[in-house]
Chain A
Amino acid sequence: MNAPTLPPSLIENPRLDRWIRFEADRTVRIATGKVEIGQGVVTALGQIAADELDLPLDKVAVLSGDTTAGPDELYTSSSLSIQVSGSSVRLVCAEVRAKALDRAALRLNCNPADLTVVDGVFHQNGAPTGQDYWSVAAEIDLTQNVTGSAALKPASRYKIVGHSTPRRDLPAKVSGAAYVHDTLPAGVLHARTLRQPSRGAVLASLDESAIKRAAKGDVQIVREANFVAFVSPVESVAHAAAVAAQQHAVWKNAKRIAPEEQEAAWLKGQPADDRRLGAPEPTTPPKRLVQVTVSRPYVAHASMAPSCALAEYRDGHLTVHSHGQGMHLLRKNIAAAVKMPVEAITAKHLHGAGCYGHNGADDAALDAALIALKLPGKTIRLMWRREEEFGFEPVGPAMLVTLHVDLDDKGRPADWTTEIWSATHVQRPGSNSGFLLATEAFAEPPPELEPNDPAEARGGGGTRNAVPIYDVPAHRILHHLVLKPPVRTSALRGLGALPNVYAIETMLDELAARAGEDPLAYRLSILSEPRGRRLLELVAERANWTARGPAGTGKGMGLAVARYKNSAAYAAVVAEVTVQETVTVDRVWCVADAGLVINPDGARNQLEGGIVQAISWTLKEQVKLGEHGIVSLDWDSYPILRFSEVPEIHAELVDGAGHPALGVGECSVGPTAAAVGNAVAHALGVRINDMPLTRERIMAALLKS
């Protein structure tokens, strides 16, 4: 018999007891390496487990992100939690259910197939047998490895999966309950840091007595080469010290950034790792070439809370609490940074504000650990300052995308080249892609790494969603991975999907206009992919697309569709806008196909969040650079979409049962940005291809037209 293919999480963590445990209080504990970042994953995994075990939802507790007791599932990213962790939990639960029924059948002297499970109790002929999970739990050997051979419950029999379930963590969050920021054990010391302005910068002098005077209180200064922290029992004193330190530190050798490096246009011509993917170069010169270039600047995660972590070093063991996206990796990365064995470190997840990718969370955890190691026996609560979060979190890379499309004689794409300039989209610590920030301040910083974007098999980085969903006979990607961006770049919700989908869907509108056809009709004429087609038709119907007015009236409607990573959930979006001096998005319709949906309302919440964030990036956001780094350091200089600017949103998931479950956190982002771009072009009668679509750009476009 062929062994079934197990999800990667089970291959790495095969033992059943890494995932499941029967508790004395007649509950079941499921453990996951994925963590709650506001996306509802813990609730969804609980639903999957409860359904597979035939338990009520309230009998399932979910432990997440614990290096001592839970499985290592790398980072919580790329909308993969439900796909990977969900299918692992399902397989484990099915197998444990089968083992439990085997044990019960032995006791009852019957065939396991004669038994059913009702709310965790085993029934025979419709009546309880007196046996249940907990009565046989001691006889189930959970030290065994999962085989993946147990039969899974068919989707038609799901009772909990597929139904909207309130998020389990939300009651506490509307009642003021704890994030890592709020965990203040007795005797805790507060810490803030002074950041090295850039790799290679050397702290030539630090006027410690002036800093202590300015702090107006008891403050200790902790230093490790070019890493400096201020520690005090009083939070405001530590904070004041760090603020004052900027004026009392002299740095040598800090990097200088030229003004033009701020813009995506600068990327072109920079030293890059160049490669071609897909079709070979065309052998004949183009006949009807259409070119479009779009750009997106550096953008921020801009979490509502600055990054924070707790660390304590006691009796040779370091314990860290963090809101990072992968606790096992964090533990390994801290171990490597501080040269301690991995076993001497525990990392536990506590909730934080939404991060939307790789922000400062892991870096803050190392900062806290470094301080804790210097002050054994003390609990350190390290929080970044607001300006530190904006100034030092990795940002989403700027991108420049040029499409070169050659048309056939019917005005349809015959040959398509997507040319992309971008810095790397992943510098997550570990796995040869990046470092925890403070290590660059060490006396011997780790050697610089060659940038490496995520592989195509994982959806790519700059190339994510570069392949159009449409029928294109020959498509190739020319990817210029820019080697030395002015700022640290890393994963931000959707990676390259937003600029790439924006470029593709801009091109589609351009081609439709040239052909004199409606954008919807034109798209449908070259889209044979059935799930994408269905969504386009449906979203057009919801938005009453056929009633769309003429171009250039100041009111516009735009359309876009994509399949995230070309392998995950589909989303189609229509945006309706009003453009005067600025853009107002009035209404957005989104329909998505995410296969089997575990928690429909939770999934809609994710779609809506992606829509709002994408509009914010498209209309408002740009990380501004100065001579020494990021200068957009507060919410005035880095504005995001506000209550008064958020559109009415109609988000909907089509019935995708029969298809495997796909994460939805990122699928609405690209199509939303593109639909807004197309709607603005429709409203104005001219296109703006550089994000963000600001007042200055609108005025300039109008003057040119």
Chain B
Amino acid sequence: MTVAFTVNGAVQSVDAPESATLLEVLRNHLGLRGTRYGCGLEQCGCCMVLVDGETSYACTREVGTVAGRAVTTIEGLGTVEAPHPLQRAFLDEQAGQCGYCLSGILISAKALLDRTPDPSRAEVIAALDKHLCRCGAHQRIIRAVERAAATLRGSAA
């Protein structure tokens, strides 16, 4: 079947079985490989994307359920040349080691800051708690999200 939805602002229509996961469609049909497989079980957060602005595990989400909706992936945030303030802040804090967890974490951070521009530390932690990071970069990641929040507030003012 054909499923049509928006990815990072562009309309895509994909020929895939309805039960295919959004993760597989993003990675293997659309070539957007920044969204990662970690467990396939909604336990690690590596695959996190936004669907109409809400965080969603792409590893279990059937592509049929995003028909007509807007999906945002890490590639929709920014690029190496033009990073999003969140990506910039992660680089400023050197928040990451292997980096495998970061795509999903950046997505959850974006969802948080879109809704809560001035989050408390507890709110940052709560927003990220569904994500695992085996390298132990947590504190840097928390600081980076707070730094990005400050930058975004500054530019919004």
Interface set, chain A 615-647, CB cutoff 8 A to B? 616, 634-636, 640-644, 646
Task: Decide if A304 touches B44 in the complex (CB within 8 Å).
Answer: yes
Task: Decide if A181 touches B37 in the complex (CB within 8 Å).
Answer: yes
Residue in A172, A175, A636, A644 whose CB lies within 8 Å of B126: A644
> Which chain A residue has the least Cβ–Cβ distance from B106?
A174
Task: Decide if B43 touches A635 in the complex (CB within 8 Å).
Answer: yes
Interchain nearest-CB distance for A388 vs B (Å)? 12
Max chain A CB contacts within 10 Å: which of B38, B74, B79, B100? B100
Residue in A171, A236, A605, A641 whose CB lies within 8 Å of B97: A605
> Which chain A residue has the least Cβ–Cβ distance from B102?
A174
- Tell me, yes or no, whether B90 is within 8 Å of chain A by CB: yes
Task: Decide if B41 touches A305 in the complex (CB within 8 Å).
Answer: no
Max chain B CB contacts within 10 Å: which of A173, A174, A610, A612? A174
Which A residues are CB-close (under 8 A) to B68? none
- Tell me, yes or no, whether B73 is within 8 Å of chain A by CB: yes
Which B residues are CB-close (under 8 A) to A616? 136
- Tell me, yes or no, whether B11 is within 8 Å of chain A by CB: no
A643 to B126, CA, bound (A): 8
A236 to B44, CA, bound (A): 19
Interface set, chain B 8-53, CB cutoff 8 A to A? 20-21, 24, 27-28, 31-41, 43-44, 46
Task: Decide if B96 touches A304 in the complex (CB within 8 Å).
Answer: no
* Interface 9-mer from A44-52, A337-345, A350-358: A350-358
A601 to B129, CA, bound (A): 25
Interface set, chain A 173-188, CB cutoff 8 A to B? 173-179, 181-182, 184
* Interface 9-mer from B112-120, B138-146, B149-157: B138-146
Number of interface residues of A (CB under 8 A): 57
A170 to B106, CA, bound (A): 13
Which B residues are CB-close (under 8 A) to A29? none
Task: Decide if B136 touches A609 in the complex (CB within 8 Å).
Answer: yes
Which B residues are CB-close (under 8 A) to A175? 34, 74-75, 77-80, 83, 87
Which B residues are CB-close (under 8 A) to A695? none
A327 to B36, CA, bound (A): 24
Task: Decide if B135 touches A609 in the complex (CB within 8 Å).
Answer: yes
A-B contact count (CB 8 A): 164
A193 to B31, CA, bound (A): 24
A234 to B129, CA, bound (A): 32
- Tell me, yes or no, whether A602 is within 8 Å of chain B by CB: yes
- Tell me, yes or no, whether A38 is within 8 Å of chain B by CB: yes
Interface set, chain A 634-663, CB cutoff 8 A to B? 634-636, 640-644, 646, 648-649
- Tell me, yes or no, whether A550 is within 8 Å of chain B by CB: no
Task: Decide if A605 touches B94 in the complex (CB within 8 Å).
Answer: yes
A643 to B129, CA, bound (A): 5
Task: Decide if B142 touches A176 in the complex (CB within 8 Å).
Answer: no
Given A174-B106, A305-B37, A613-B134, A354 and B44 touching (CB < 8 A)? no
> Which chain B residue has the least Cβ–Cβ distance from A601?
B94
Task: Decide if A643 touches B125 in the complex (CB within 8 Å).
Answer: yes
For the complex with contacts A235-B24, A235-B27, A646-B138, 15 further pairs of A-B residues with Cβ separation under 8 Å are A39-B97, A171-B91, A173-B102, A174-B102, A176-B33, A176-B35, A178-B33, A182-B33, A353-B134, A612-B135, A613-B134, A634-B43, A642-B129, A648-B139, A649-B139
- What are some 10 contacts across the A-B interface (CB < 8 A)? A171-B83, A175-B74, A176-B35, A182-B34, A184-B28, A306-B37, A611-B136, A635-B43, A642-B132, A643-B141
